[in-house]
Structure 1
């Protein structure tokens, strides 16, 4: 027989395991916060830009087809910038202890659609090194592009600069804590329903009728210790009253 669960039963399960859900939620947020602040190394990024343009003088007009050609060739430039030909020189100039492939992972090259401006962004745990990598990469590319493609249409638009108070781009504490809260709540709710599913004990009269298919003949009520104490006091009071009444009747008879 197919079993269904009502919205009321769902809320009852959540209410029953609310403490577990809250505990897991805040534990996950706490772990995420501690990992963010104490175990994840912050990284900084810095960007340098160059523009790909045609060589003109005062008497020459701008050729629209040449501009389109420059935009199309940017895709090739994006690949060349991250090639070992360029990055090996960057490694040597900055005296880095990593390979060109590892350095390539620290560099991102991007350009807006139909734009002649290319942005080279470098990421590193040291903000000064991020600035140096971005600027050195663009400068090295500019120096080598003439030999590689026999063109001289790259000009540096802006260089990376070190901010007075650099702010790391990663990790993001609030985002990580928020993710921890959501994941913790999801795990807590899932675990609550799993425990409820695995719990096959009989607790209510409805469980007896549904699981055992037997009629309920009687119910033994649960009596608290406070109720027992109250009942004991009431019984003692009644007995004392009966004794006093019995004693009074005995004296009258005498």
Structure 2
């Protein structure tokens, strides 16, 4: 019964301070919206896919065995590391005359291997959609030349060339505002309960019995 009463008290506390919770949520949402729309610059992502080939002595021979597929998949993993190598990234910077260092561009390039396939996906993020697309299409060109020199193996072919992205991938403005409002509610509720827990003032007659252990025989009403 005591637990039910406590929960009811918490409900009345929140109901009494609801204006503060709503205000905190609105303020946090507005601040997040202003930052997302006017401060954070949009980031675009361009994508391209490559397929790893395996050389065969007989042109009519097709790659059908499991060993061949496993070999190509492992080769794709190796190629993924070469794509982000200093040689390929630096050559891309020089060819496009980018004002970037190797570390800066390497941080914008993501290389993933599609599971159980010989396909490599290259993603490039940039605040300029045209530059993101150019980088994404230039990397495979340079990589195809370098991989022949480095591993003396068959190269790759581009499946889908990168196009200029129309919409940015971040910031997610709506999600940022929603998260900020939820955080505003959580913080305000925490502060309300913390202040209530630290408040030692006697507000009701039953507080005298609970906190002081003194029975209450009567209450003088206010006029």
Please report the TM-score for the alignment, with normalisation by the length of structure 2. Answer: 0.92
Q: Over aligned residues, Cα RMSD in angstroms? A: 1.7
Summarize deviations over 1:182-240 as a string: whole Å, max 9, x none: 111111111110010111111111112222222334433234xxxxxxxxxxxxxxxxx
2:12 maps to 1:12: yes
**2:55–2:153: 8 Å Cα contact kept in structure 1?**
no
Between 58-67 and 187-196, the greater mean CA deviation after superposition: 58-67
| 2:127 alignment partner, one of 121, 125, 128 | 125
Number of residue-to-residue matches in the alignment = 219
**2:54–2:72: 8 Å Cα contact kept in structure 1?**
yes
2:86 maps to 1:84: yes
Could you tell me how far apart the structure 1 residues matched to 2:55 and 2:152 are? 13
Higher Rg of the two aligned structures? 1
- Number of the residue aligned with 1:206: 206
Could you tell me how far apart the structure 2 residues matched to 1:171 and 1:61 are? 46
Please report the TM-score for the alignment, with normalisation by the length of structure 1. Answer: 0.81
Could you tell me how far apart the structure 2 residues matched to 1:219 and 1:147 are? 95
Higher relative contact order, chain-length normalized (CA < 8 Å, sep 6+)? 2
**Secondary structure of residue in 2 paired with 1:46:** strand
Unaligned 5+ residue runs, structure 1? 224-254
- Number of the residue aligned with 1:60: 61
**1:54–1:67: 8 Å Cα contact kept in structure 2?**
no
CA 1:59–1:215 in structure 2 vs 1: closer, same or farther (change >3 Å)? closer
| 2:156 alignment partner, one of 147, 154, 157 | 154
Q: Structure 1 segments of 4 or more deviating over 6 A?
A: none
- Number of the residue aligned with 2:147: 145
Unaligned 5+ residue runs, structure 2? none
Summarize deviations over 1:137-170 as a string: whole Å, max 9, x none: 111111110001001231121211125xx10100
Could you tell me how far apart the structure 2 residues matched to 1:204 and 1:148 are? 82
**Secondary structure of residue in 1 paired with 2:131:** helix
Could you tell me how far apart the structure 2 residues matched to 1:155 and 1:221 are? 88
**1:53–1:67: 8 Å Cα contact kept in structure 2?**
no
- Number of the residue aligned with 1:239: none
**Secondary structure of residue in 2 paired with 1:162:** coil
